[in-house]
Amino acid sequence: MLIQTKGLKKTFTTRGKSVEAVRGVDLSVKEGEIFGLLGTNGAGKTTTLRMLATLIEPSAGEATVCGHDLLAAPAKVRQSIGYVGQAGGTWGEVSARAELVHQGRLYGMRKKDAAQRAGEVLQAFQLADFADRPSKTYSGGQRRRLDIALGIMHEPQLLFLDEPTTGLDPQSRAHMWEEVRRLRDWGTSVVLTTHYLDEADALCDRLVIVDEGAVVIEGTPAQLKQEVSGDLVLIGVNGDAPRAEELLRQRSFVREIESSEPDPAGIVTLRLYVDEGGSAVPLLLRELDAADISPISIELHRPSLDDVFLKQTGRSLRDE
């Protein structure tokens, strides 16, 4: 395991008031994966990330990061990781190349090596064309790519990204997802936070949903969605609805079946909750065909991560 935490906690005390930002988080992150912490604002994602990146000390609990004990050997952890905070850093007079070389030097690289690595990183993140312009002239997406380039200058084994695409337009977000996938392909593991459902779904190999300082569920996006209720199949039938319902109810892979009132054209929609829609649809069609029932329509719906979030926390992430 690249990261293993047990009972990680953080309580902030300001002016006599204390906030339990993280209430005991257990995480296991594997080497080579993109791992996500999904949650609303204030859920404790950033605090968790900052603890794992040695930026703040946990109030309780233990963790190993890249094979090093977080509390006993924070300097070793720091050498193995990169950390990119939330957007909003300074956009200065300094060029991307100069920032990268400076970063490399901070990590103990020799001037020549830092310059060479900066050149490679600028190419990789498509920053080379304007590498010598002051970074204040960059677009939001370009600045964010530079932030990540800075985070990987010293070739860390693991990169922490706090909300990598917040504030970016859809095209820059898609672009950023590509960059993050490429990091994984190069062998850098990535742990990121997000409050975007689509980002967690599209980008993460595995994720946890964090709510009120605790992990509520963990798994691959597909597993989490499976957890909700399996898939939903909608079948429109005309006239034969009671018979179709009776017939399909008996199939073992149908967890639940409900039927709508007939619409003005007399079509009844049967809602079937099944374990796995892809394999259920052909079986359902065969079953109906054998009983001489011809459906008018058939649709397959997959639950979204928002359905998972709703089930686990009682709130919708879309409402936030």
Q: How far is it, in rounded angstroms, from Cα 192 to Cα 101?
A: 25
Judged by CB under 6 A, does residue 51 bind ligand ATP?
Answer: no
CB of 22 or CB of 109, closer to ligand ATP: 22
Judged by CB under 6 A, does residue 44 bind ligand ATP?
Answer: yes
For residue 209, the minimal CB distance to ligand ATP (Å) is 11
CA atoms within 13 A on the CB side of 116: 6
Q: How far is it, in rounded angstroms, from Cα 248 to Cα 232?
A: 14
Which position has the token pair 């963790």? 63
CB of 47 or CB of 142, closer to ligand ATP: 47
Judged by CB under 6 A, does residue 39 bind ligand ATP?
Answer: yes
Burial of 19 (0-12, 13-18, 19+ CB in 10 A): middle
Instruction: Show the binding pattern over residues 178-217: x = contacts ligand ATP (CB under 6 A), - = does not.
Output: ---------------x------------------------
For residue 118, the minimal CB distance to ligand ATP (Å) is 30
Segment lying near ligand ATP (by CB under 6 A), choices 35-43, 61-69, 180-188, 296-304: 35-43
Angle, to 10 degrees, between the axis of helix 96-106 and the axis of helix 140-151? 20
CB of 22 or CB of 122, closer to ligand ATP: 22
**Which of 21, 149, 150, 248 is the binder for ligand ATP (CB under 6 A)?**
21
**Which of 19, 115, 234, 283 is the binder for ligand ATP (CB under 6 A)?**
19
DSSP state of 134: B
Dihedrals φ, ψ of 153, to 5°? Answer: -50, -40
CB of 201 or CB of 231, closer to ligand ATP: 201
Judged by CB under 6 A, does residue 42 bind ligand ATP?
Answer: yes
34-38 and 189-194: which strand pairing? parallel
**Which of 15, 16, 41, 250 is the binder for ligand ATP (CB under 6 A)?**
41
Strands annotated E in 137-294:
158-162, 189-194, 206-211, 214-219, 231-238, 254-259, 267-274
Dihedrals φ, ψ of 77, to 5°? Answer: -60, -45
**Which of 47, 135, 165, 172 is the binder for ligand ATP (CB under 6 A)?**
47
CB distance 220 to 206 below 8 Å = yes
17-25 and 81-84: which strand pairing? unpaired
For residue 133, the minimal CB distance to ligand ATP (Å) is 31
Angle, to 10 degrees, between the axis of helix 96-106 and the axis of helix 111-124? 130
Instruction: Show the binding pattern over residues 129-168: x = contacts ligand ATP (CB under 6 A), - = does not.
Output: ----------------------------------------
CB of 64 or CB of 194, closer to ligand ATP: 194
Q: Which residues of the shown chain bind ligand ATP in the complex (CB under 6 A)?
A: 12, 14, 19, 21, 39, 41-47, 193
